[in-house]
Amino acid sequence: MEPSQRHISYRPLRTPKAAAFAGLVFAVLQIASYWLMQSSLPAEALNEEELVQFALDLHLSLNLSPFAGIAFLWFLGVLRDRLGHLEDQFFSTLFFGSGVLYLAMTFVSAAIAGGLLTVFAVDPDLLFNSEILIFGRAMIYKFNNVYAIRMAGMFMIVLGTIWVRTGLMPRLLAIVTYLTALSLIIGISFYPWTTLFFPGWVFLISAYILALNYRYKQRDGVTLAG
């Protein structure tokens, strides 16, 4: 087939420009979702009005969680796109695997919270006058603060190592990544809200990538104009 006869649909895929905003979206949604989920499952409920408010907050948290997960997958895509031909099979397996495991376990904890919400809708007394709430809270805590957050720490350590070896990111940013990862892995045992460090770090990395993209765009524009 002659080049002029090739179908116009055969074009290489390019990373969407909007993908760079995915990390910012994930950070905002994940912080809001986690905050609402934690505050919606108190150790004790004082009265019926508070229980209803807790249920509404939890419902909102569960609605935000899937969109945060979608944005995180886009963020993964942006990071892999920046690696390009420098991507290594060993480090990429650890990087992608730990990221997907983190996301999967946050979804599992959200599903458990959804189950508690369903029980509350059917019979509030059954939820708060039995061990169901205690068991559900323990499961959510274990998935979020023991397993998922340590996978997030693994994700950050691998990514920081990739950046140090390839030079794709400044060494200072890699050091910040290592320190934040250690804070997650160790600090989560003492302070549950340490979980918010991860979406905060994603926000920082995404903002830096957007700044780089803007700088390159401005430089290319100046070059073309000259």
Confidence (pLDDT) at 47: 54
Q: Kindly report the CA angle at 155 between 84 and 73, in degrees rounded to 5?
A: 65
Confidence (pLDDT) at 16: 57
- pLDDT per residue rounded down to tens, the chain (226 residues): 444 444 445 455 455 556 678 899 999 999 999 888 877 666 555 455 666 777 788 888 889 999 999 999 999 988 888 887 777 888 888 989 999 999 999 999 999 988 888 887 888 777 767 788 788 888 988 898 889 999 999 999 999 999 998 888 889 999 999 999 999 999 888 888 888 999 999 999 999 888 887 776 666 554 444 4
List Cβ neighbours of 151 (8 Å cut-off, separation of 6 or more). 98, 99, 101, 102, 105
Side-chain half-sphere of 47: how many Cα atoms within 13 Å?
Answer: 1
Environment class of residue 25 by beta-carbon count within 10 Å: exposed (0-12), middle (13-18) or buried (19+)? buried
Confidence (pLDDT) at 226: 47
Rounded Cα distance, 96 and 102, in Å: 10
Confidence (pLDDT) at 25: 93
Confidence (pLDDT) at 200: 94
Confidence (pLDDT) at 187: 87
pTM for the model stands at: 0.81
Tokens of 220: 């290319």
